[in-house]
Amino acid sequence: MWYRSASFILDKQQQQQNDTVTNPESRPPSSASTAMAAENPNANISMYYQTRAAHHGVVTNDWLAQAQAAVGGHPDDSVSDNYVSGSEEENIRYSVVDEFNNWRKQPELAEAVAAIRALASVIRSSQATTMMELEIELKKASDALKSWDTTSISLTAGCDLFMRYVTRTSALEYEDFNSAKSRLLERAEKFGEISYKARRIIAMLSQDFIFDGCTILVHGFSRVVLEVLRTAAQNKKLFRVLCTEGRPDRTGLRLSNELAKLDIPVKLLIDSAVAYSMDEVDMVFVGADGVVESGGIINMMGTYQIALVAKSMNKPVYVAAESYKFARLYPLDQKDMVPALRPIDFGVPIPSKVEVETSARDYTPPQYLTLLFTDLGVLTPSVVSDELIQLYL
Amino acid sequence: MDSRRVPRTVSDPKVRQVGFFAPAAPLDRSESGPPAPTSSSPPVSDVSPSGNSLSPVMIPPPRHLSTDLSRHFPLGPPISPLRVARAADTSIPVGSYNPSEFLTPTATTEFSEDPLSPRWGRRGSSGKFATSLPAGGFNMALAKQKNAVNLPPDGGSNVEVQKEQRAVTGKPLKEKTTKAERRALQEAQRAAKAAAKGEGSKTGASGVNTANSNTGKPVKAVSQKKDSSSVAASEKKGGDRQPDKDRKKDVPHPRMQFDDANRVEKAKKRSVVKQTEAKNRVELFRHLPQYEHGTQLPELESKFFQLDTVHPAVYKVGLRYLAGDISGGNARCIAMLQAFQESIKDYSTPPEKSLIRDLTTKINGYVSFLIECRPLSISMGNAIRFLKTRIAQLPLNLSESEAKVHLISDIDRFISEKIILADKVIVKHAVTKIRDGDVLLTYASSSAVEMMLLHAHELGKHFRVVIVDSRPKLEGQKLLRRLVGKGIHCTYTHINAVSYIMHEVSRVFLGASSVLSNGTVYSRVGTACVAMVAHQFHVPVLICCEAYKFHERVQLDSICSNELGDPDVISKVSGRKEINTLDGWANSENLQLLNLMYDATPSDYVSMIITDYGMIPPTSVPVIVREYRREHLWI
């Protein structure tokens, strides 16, 4: 699946506008705010949402201040790469989870990519002397990562895909262990590279779908969607964005903030105003926590109802998702998922007799999605299963 | 480019491009000739269902094409001259085409013997189908080719031919003419064949035999041994040659159309089972066989000790099909395969025959007997296809006993891997979809669903089962008995009440006789109704089906392919005189009874298909068929 990655579109683009590509990396980091995580040190919250809260929590004043201060001071990717590999050499027994957390601190780096890089470093630092040993070690590391947060779909899927991609190779037939290992490492790094580039690829692919004068409804804060919109803005497209509020962690506010910085006309809606404003919307753009085998997506709570409204008004629903989010899951209905919980702040105390639905995400069945923009290309929902079958069986 | 799935990509080069297409690929293909250009018109060749190892969905990568061709054409005839021979044979000296590629005697005889012979001997019909199918085109091409070859080679230049070909391929009109020509030639041949047959089956082969150099003898022997009719023999020969005509392997065979009086007559002549046709058949279903049931069994039983063509084990299984003792896709398939195993055990190759050919002939005979007893299910068709491929692929240097051991163990492996293990995997997957407190609905009786329910119960899950059943088979009662015996809480109702019961159901689990390429589920009649009601109530519908039952055919309705049961069972209730109001009405001209056995559920109503390859959406059936067809056939 990966060798067919549409990354060439990126390479082409890179020659033309070098500044565009380097731009996202020098953007201000947003990891400063740990407000959400600090407020809710609740064991009930799934790690996934704690991370998300840490990375793009509520927009606070101190976040803005720190963001301003941090402009330019962000470590370049290659630098941090060196740093990590350097530390690896010093401390071989470095736990994969620590490594992963290290990577995870970068807000621009998706969780799965962080996991992929952490796993690659496992290969690098491994002292195994046989292929089998190395594979077992890798397996253990990936299991450790997966159990670190069972609710994150992209983490699990990323680890699985990494194992598939790296170990399913003819390299294993090399007689010389060291050359086999270096081949594995090469593949691992390539995989990491592809995954890292995925967001750019998706942004490039989606440009054909955004036309001048269109109105786009977005839901939640998705870095891919942001990248798509940013690229479109940089390509001098004229469009308007409607941003849902994204309760309870108000991710929409953050997205609208980012968009406003890019001079994109943006309008905020409360989540319940989706149907009200759907008639002026030309397309719905959402990200995904995970893409499941049916071709549907699991995403932030509220995506399903937006998709339903969009479907009933015949508006296209586009999903931007990197292919490392493809997971071998097949939820039959909303309750048929690993629950990911997230506290909801209602502002007033809730009587203890009142039950609160704290699920953080819902499942949108494939029939409500129009297209998926992935780094494998623009896919219809039914192709997802095709790719997964090819990869896993 | 890193190939992720090394073994598969190496053996089967293909490029599926998602999103971005290099526009050169399809163009290139049509220019340099796809591996199946022998069929006359490009559109047909595109549609022709995967005659060779390339399935229609795959786009052969341009750069591999040369190797590809050489792989598919070990004899190595460049495609282009064929086209010339076909299209422009009147104007150019076709004989100038250098026939050296065809010098292998088997090839020549093959082409010349019987261009119309269908590949599968098991279906009843002889040559007629050729007009309606791409296969016909292919045959004609071969016939033409034969003509070309038989002309004395006068050493004309290949260059000229090549040049001509350029011109010809540019011409869009040619396919029309060839089609007409083909038909004309075919008619002529058919007439000749009919005439030959009229002279007598023994002399009939003489015209054919002129071209036979090597295989003439066995052919004759076959036709003498089976003196019932030469048609059967020639058909069997067609079956023999299956390995050579590899490309034709997957062309769907036309089913016997039972509203064609001529062919029904012909088929009857050579059938072992003398079925009597039911009289009043429903208009839309006249093309399906419908027999009066229960009349022929004693007669057949008495025949048991005077069989010559059918092995007793196969005969027994056939009779049990007929009597309805064995039903259910898996059970029928396993019984058939085990009978074949028995027959292979007792098989010995007659002198001067090769095991591969003779055994295939034998199997074909058995299969056509089984069809007479009860039409094959798709899963059985797949199993037969598997067995034949295994036979065809036996190494030639194997001794007879070794070959037999090989085949028997292959069949064992098919049964255990594709059916028994597959069921286990399905159960494992399906159980994950059952939660405590669920109400599961199932229709009729499916072995996979039953195993799954029992397994979930063993795991201590708390759930309730609603078994929906229907007349006349009432298969659900047996399932109900077994489930209740295990202590599972059950509700039993008939399909009439399905819309009432559905609102309390949380999952619908159904079995399937087959799943077709467009996701259509072909299953016991009534399944579609249950699935539609469930869909309307937003209850997920899960189909449990082993992957060996998948078929690349596409079917949109349940009319064109189906099975008719005994019409009497729906008009009568045995032992209840007082409600048998239709007694004696069966022969009334105004009464037509329809007892359908299967129906087709459109994929829209199916949420998920659980197979041995995991849980997939119905849209992914063609992916499984594409990716695993080879594996199914060759394990």
Q: Do residues B509 and B441 lie in contact, with contact meaning Cβ atoms separated by under 8 Å?
A: yes
Alpha carbons B126 and B120: distance in angstroms, whole number: 10
Neighbour-count burial of A268, counting CB atoms closer than 10 A to its CB (0-12 exposed, 13-18 middle, 19+ buried): middle
**How far off is chain A from B332, nearest CA to CA, in Å?**
28
Cis link prior to B93 (omega < 30° from 0)? no
The per-residue pLDDT for range A107-164, each reduced to its tens digit, is 677 788 888 888 888 888 877 777 778 888 888 888 888 888 778 888 888 888 888 8
Q: How far is CA A351 from each of CA A44, A348, A355, B283, rounded to the nearest angstrom?
A: 19, 9, 9, 69
- Which 3 state secondary structure label does DSSP give B429? helix
Is some CB atom of chain B closer than 8 A to the CB atom of A164?
yes
User: What is the per-residue pLDDT for B115?
Assistant: 41
Mean pLDDT of chain B: 70
Phi-psi region of B65 (alpha: psi -120 to 50; beta: other; left: phi over 0): alpha
Q: Would the ipTM clear 0.85, i.e. be above it?
A: no
pLDDT of residue B139: 46
**Are the beta carbons of B398 and B524 closer than 8 angstroms?**
no
The reply to whether residue A366 touches residue B615, judged by beta carbons under 8 angstroms, is no
Mean pLDDT of B334-343: 93
pLDDT bin (cut points 50, 70, 90) of residue B506 is: very high
Q: Which residue has the higher pLDDT, A188 or B508?
A: B508
pLDDT at B295: 59
User: Taking all residues of chain A, what is their mean pLDDT, rounded to a whole number?
Assistant: 78
Mean pLDDT of the region B345-373: 87
Across the interface, which of B5, B623, B627 has its CB nearest the CB of A168?
A: B5
Supply the pLDDT for residue B177: 54
The class level of CATH for B433-562+597-632 reads alpha beta
In this prediction, residue A379 has a pLDDT band, given cuts at 50, 70 and 90, of very high
Average pLDDT over residues A52-72: 50
Number of A–B residue contacts, CB under 8 Å = 87
Residues of A whose CB is below 8 A from B17: 4, 377
Query: pLDDT of B598-626, one tens digit each?
Result: 999 999 999 999 999 899 999 999 998 88
- List the single residue in A with minimal CA-CA distance to B622: A386
Mean local confidence (pLDDT), B592-597: 85
Out of A36-50, B66-80, B269-283, B307-321, which region has the weakest mean confidence (pLDDT)? B66-80
Contacts of B248 (CB under 8 A, 6+ apart): B51, B119, B135, B138, B242
Report whether B280 contacts B588 (CB < 8 A): yes
Sign of CA dihedral B132, B134, B137, B139: negative
Query: Is there a contact between A385 and B619 if contact means CB atoms under 8 Å apart?
Result: yes
pLDDT digits (tens, 9 = 90+) for B153-197: 444 444 444 444 444 444 444 445 566 667 777 777 776 776 665
Q: B507: nearest CA in chain A?
A: A332
Q: Could you give the CA distance from residue A248 to residue A243 in angstroms, rounded to a whole number?
A: 14
Name chain B contacts of A294, Cβ cutoff 8 Å.
Answer: 607-608, 617
Q: What is the mean pLDDT of residues B105-121?
A: 41
Residues in chain B whose Cβ is within 8 Å of chain A: 1-6, 16-20, 433, 435, 507, 540, 542, 607-608, 613-617, 619-620, 623-624, 627
Could you count the other beta carbons within 10 Å of the beta carbon of residue B243? 16
Å between B537 CA and nearest CA of chain A: 13
Distance CA A269, CA B509 (A): 42
CA distance A382 to chain B (A): 6
Give the pair of three-digit tokens for residue B190. 């058919």
Beta pairing partners, A244? A269
The HSE-up count of residue A195 (CA atoms within 13 Å, CB side) is 29
Percent of chain B with pLDDT over 70: 54
pLDDT value for B299: 67
Q: How does residue A345 score in pLDDT terms, banded at 50, 70 and 90?
A: confident
CA distances to A84, A240, B620 from B594, rounded to whole Å, are: 74, 61, 33
Confidence (pLDDT) at B602: 94
**pLDDT given for residue A248 in this prediction:** 83
CB contact under 8 Å between B617 and A391, yes or no, is no
3-state class (DSSP) for residue B411: helix
Q: Where are the domains of chain B?
A: 261-418, 433-562+597-632
Which pLDDT band, with edges at 50, 70 and 90, does A260 fall under?
very high
The reply to whether CATH 3.20.20.100 applies to domain A201-392 is no
* CATH class label, B261-418: mainly alpha
User: Which chain A positions have a beta carbon within 8 Å of B6's beta carbon?
Assistant: 168-170
Name the minimum distance, in Å, from the CA of B628 to any CA of chain A.
10
pLDDT surpassing 50 at residue A226: yes
The reported pLDDT for the residue numbered B53 is: 41
Nearest to B48 by CA among B60, B58, B33, B36: B36
pTM: 0.68
Please indicate whether, in this complex, the C-beta atoms of B619 and A3 are within 8 angstroms of each other.
Answer: no
Cβ within 8 Å, pair B19-A336: no
CB contact under 8 A, A389 and B17: no
Is the predicted pLDDT of residue A37 greater than 90, yes or no?
A: no
Interface check A392 vs B, CB under 8 A: yes
Say which residue, B279 or A143, is predicted with more confidence: A143
Domain chopping of chain A, boundaries: 2-27+35-199, 201-392
Question: Is the pLDDT assigned to residue B202 strictly greater than 50?
Answer: no
